[in-house]
Structure 1
Amino acid sequence: MTRKHKPYPILENVEIEAIAAEGKCLFHHEDKVVFVPFCVPGDIVDIQITRKKHSFMEGRVIKFIQYSKVRTTPMCSHFGICGGCKWQNLPYEEQLKAKQQQVFDQLTRIGKIELPEINPILGSVKTSEYRNKLEFGCANKRWYTQEEINAMPPREEGKEGNLNESAIGFHITGAFDKIYPIKKCWLMDDFHNSIRNEIQRYAKETGMTFYDIRAQHGLLRDIMMRNSNTGEFMVLIQFHYDVEGDEDRAKALLEHVADKFPEITSLIYVDNQKGNDTFGDLELTTFKGTDFIYETMEDLKFKVGPKSFYQTNTDQAYHLYSVARDFANLSGNELVYDLYTGTGTIANFVAHKAKKVIGIEYVPEAIEDAKVNSEVNNITNTLFYAGDMKDILTDDFIAEHGHPDIIITDPPRAGMHQDVVDVILNAAPKRIVYVSCNPATQARDLALMDAEYKVAKVQPVDMFPHTPHVENVVLLEKK
């Protein structure tokens, strides 16, 4: 028999004090910090406590008593529900201040290393429609807000009503099996909204089943869209064939999308029978057009496939990579190692200023794209290798290919493996340029290299407006 705890208290007329991690804000109550989403410093609110821990609590706003002067009106009608853009109610200038502070706090508190003055953050060129990639889940159960549920007519006894309506949209935090339907997302070119909404309309009208993640059946499973600054558009639809005729139904949808939206230059699909939505290990089929699109940067072209990693904010990626290239300070005679090279964007971007660039990346398809990108751009001084970084980048590898003068590293959010750090230290390059999408793990790695390298420059770059995420570029110089 489970013990029922007392309802958590409601705290009235509290003032939100500051911005916290993960897009939340905070205030202090008695001896604890209370974290609250979807508010801004200066708001005076009533808070329902939802979770209690030894050193902190979590809550949600149940009533706004007075709005803060440091606040703006969110542009998206889904704000506060889908959870993707948690800072849309915060003016962009305030977002940048918070991200600047986040970089400072994490490098000092976690890294505990000597730092130069941190450069002012580079704000994003665009603050809406800035992404070149989005993924949407398809589910046979949609999420309903409490307001939507309250507005529904009473259900007849013995009937479920319409609470299992299918939807295409984003997962709600804490509800892995439900999707909140998105009518308009402001993060990508508006054309993608037309495609997504039409797929949903057609699928429902034709009786197509939507995926049930618990039972693992249902035909329409996931949609990924990419666009590029060359005007190309890619759509990848994941299906889950369950019964006879599903493949025909899937192709009918693809045909409808191709006819309705001739602007799509790359229409791809896959039958994914796995327990998750990842498709890196699956064979994809091109239904229409090519299996890639091109991005451009300066005078370079980059081939981007459905499995390729490419920075999702194209305009801002140029500024990020320009910072990395400036920090590398190449003269034309250096051997450069580009770790976690993706599709070779940084490697090819700096190649004309280096003697030779060696790129390493885990995803084989991305490495193939990196090689093609060098060929397309007539770059002959790059070499690319695919495999796990800690397995490829070894002392033997460096002995064979040469000791790097410069290492540029752009690892995933988890940062670098200890073995990779050790090999970098043994290689002893003159300079290391560390590009990070997670200053916390970057700070940890900087501390591991602090005995041999000093931090010479720090440049935060905002790639994701309206979210708490921030990129940071650090220049390390040999002591």
Structure 2
Amino acid sequence: MRVFEKYEKVEITDFAAEGKCIYKSPDGVIFVEGNVAPGDIVDLEVIGKKKKFKEAVVRKIHSQSALRTQPYCSHHDTCGGCRWQHIDYGHQLRFKRQQVVDHFERIGKLQGVHVNDILPADEKQFYRNKLEFTFSNNRWLTREEISSGLDFNRNALGFHVPKRFDKIFTVEKCYLQPDPSNEIRNGLYAYINSKGYRNYDVRKNVGTLRNLIIRTANTGDVMVIAQFGENEEDVVKDVMEYLKSSFPIISSLHYIINTKGNDSYQDQEVIHYAGEPVIRETMEDLTFLVGPKSFYQTNSDQAYRLFSVARDYAGLTGNEYVYDLYTGTGTIANFVARQARKVVGVEYVEAAVVDARKNSALNGITNTSFFAGDMKDLMNEAFLAQHGRPDVIITDPPRAGMDLPVVETILKAAPDRIVYVSCNSSTQARDIALMSEAYEVTKVQPVDMFPNTHHVENVALLVKK
């Protein structure tokens, strides 16, 4: 019989990475999962042991921390999304800034770097412009439902229960995305239940209704993409006609037939069903076209603040050659182009480069060039000679950061300034450390893109020594 180690009436000590908290016990650090806060007095049960730490869950809260506030969402205890709803927003901001400081000092070994106070979000709710919901035939049941012994509808349309790929709980109201997101999702959920359509079974890879993507732009445009796990033509047509007729506010309607083992759809054909093929986002006087596969920052308001910081850090006078790495659909490149002599955008994905060129043309921007390919191979001496050696490099890589060959390519290009935009300050600090012999960090600005979560965006300015 397995015996679990327990700690009773102990005080949660501090926040930790990835939204966890810690209890510094006499025999080592314990990472604590769940909706806890520093200052909580709790009973813990250890669920895992590593060499240098233990992992635990809370079994009982005896008294609550002064850092707490009342969660506003009924799904807070189940959902893995806004896990910090129970933490006062001011304390969230302080920890996020400290997280950046810790990463720069501990991972980057960058001592004495000043990190500015984080730029807060004006909107703490309904700030996302994109959400993905999952259909399932295996709805997560509450303890009350299980103990009742009754037979419940097992269809679900909502989010994954944390760490359970096969369990989905139905969302009644999500506070992340503005109207008409909730109205569309709830309407479709009621409709497919009334029709008796088969929801997707992720374990068996069968079922028709699979995934629902809703994008809401700051222009008022709305895009909906329905993903089907089987090509049942009558069901597909009925569902799409329901969405089209019931929600005329949808300006761009699409569907995907995806029979493979995961929900990713970048490699799938997106079929345009009704309305416009794209939606539009605006930033200052610029307009950006967003297609079904386009990447666009999911918090439009804070993206503007983030890019404004990056543009300010670039220190452009109108004479600079700027290289925008991981340019995606060219959002940053086009945003800074009017303050630069020339902007060269480099991106792995060919389809994104096509969108970037369209966005330049749409906005009458003529001093940008976009190229698809592996950066370490593309940005050779011949390329730099042809397009101009960069005075400034702006890089905005994915969470994993930059590969070492890309870092080495940047060092060979030797720009005067590097503006590093990151959604993961730990990998950002690692990459900056690799450039620390040649560059000095002079400015660091965190931006809160995702309130009520542990995530933080960060902009760092590196100046050549």
Letter in 2 for 1:261: F
Q: Within 5 Å, which residues of 2 pair with 1:450-461?
A: 450-461=436-447
How far apart in 1 are the matches of 2:144 and 2:420? 46
**Residue 470 of structure 1, aligned match among 445, 456, 461:** 456
Instruction: Say if 1:374 and 1:380, in contact at 8 Å, map to a contact too.
Output: yes
Q: Which residue of 1 aligns with 2:275?
A: 289
Which of 227, 232, 238 is matched with 2:221 structurally?
232
Task: Give the deviation of 1:365 after TM superposition.
Answer: 2.2
Look up the equivalent residue of 1:254 and give its one-letter code.
M
2:69 alignment partner, SS class: coil
Which of 33, 44, 48 does residue 29 from structure 2 map onto?
33
Structure 1 gaps of 5+ residues are 154-160
Distance 1:32 1:145, change over 3 A: farther
CA contact (8 A) 1:167 1:179 kept: yes
1:167 to 129, 135, 156: 156
Of stretches 253-262 and 8-17 in structure 1, the one that deviates more from structure 2 is: 8-17
Residue 18 of structure 2: aligned partner: 22
Contact 1:406 1:430 in 2 (8 A): yes
User: 8 Å contact 2:325–2:394 — kept in the other structure?
Assistant: yes
**What displacement does 1:271 show?**
0.3
Structure 2: which 5+ runs fail to align?
A: none
| Matched residue, 2:43 | 46
Matches within 5 A, 1:132-281: 132-153=129-150, 161-162=151-152, 165-241=154-230, 246-281=232-267
Q: How far off its partner does 1:148 sit?
A: 3.2
Instruction: Name the stretch that deviates more: 140-149 or 465-474.
Output: 140-149
**Equivalent in the alignment of 1:13:** 9
Q: Return the letter of the residue paired with 1:54.
A: K
Deviation at residue 116 of structure 1 after TM alignment: 3.2
* 2:304 aligned with 1:313: no
Q: Is the Cα contact below 8 Å between 1:390 and 1:417 reproduced in 2?
A: no
2:237 is paired with a residue of what secondary structure? Answer: helix
TM-score (norm 2): 0.97
Do the aligned residues in 2 keep the contact of 1:313 with 1:464 (CA within 8 Å)? yes
Asked whether the equivalents of residues 115 and 456 of structure 1 are also in contact (C-alpha less than 8 Å), the reply is: no
Aligned-residue offset at 1:144: 2.0
Q: Following TM superposition, by how much is the alpha carbon of 1:17 offset from its aligned partner in structure 2, in angstroms? A: 1.2
**Equivalent residue number for residue 69 of structure 2:** 72
CA contact (8 A) 2:244 2:274 kept: yes
Whether contact under 8 Å (2:421, 2:458) holds in the other structure is yes
d(CA) in 2 for partners of 1:387, 1:457: 30
TM-superposed CA distance for 1:114, in Å, is: 4.2
CA RMSD of aligned residues (A): 1.4
Residues 396-405 or 224-233, more deviating? 396-405
Aligned length: 464
- Alignment check: 8 A CA contact 2:104 2:111 kept: no
Q: TM-score, normalising length from structure 1?
A: 0.94
Inter-CA distance 282–391: structure 2 relative to 1 (3 Å threshold): farther
Residue deviations 1:183-241 (CA, integer Å, cap 9, x gap): 11101103201111111111111111111111111001111111111001111111022
| Partner Cα distance (1:422, 1:28) in 2 | 40
1:357-372 to structure 2, matched below 5 A, reads 357-372=343-358
Query: In the aligned structure 1, how far is the partner of 2:420 from the partner of 2:145?
Result: 47
Specify the SS of the correspondent of 2:339.
coil
Task: Quote how far apart the aligned CAs of 1:394 are.
Answer: 3.4
User: How much does 1:115 deviate?
Assistant: 4.3
Q: Does 1:426 align with 2:423?
A: no
Pair 1:329-2:315 in alignment: yes
SS at 1:333 equivalent: coil
Which amino acid in structure 2 is aligned with residue 320 of structure 1? L
The 5-angstrom pairing of residues 380-391 of structure 1 reads 380-391=366-377
Q: Which of 97, 100, 104 is matched with 2:97 structurally?
A: 100
Contact 2:137-2:199 within 8 A present in 1 as well: yes
What does the per-residue CA deviation read over 1:361-420, in whole Å, with 9 as the maximum and x for residues that have no partner?
A: 222222221111111110000001123333433344223322101000000001011111
8 A Cα contact 2:45 2:59, kept in partner: yes
Q: Distance in 2 between matches of 1:148 and 1:443?
A: 46
Rounded to whole Å, the distance in 2 between the matches of 1:148 and 1:397 is: 63
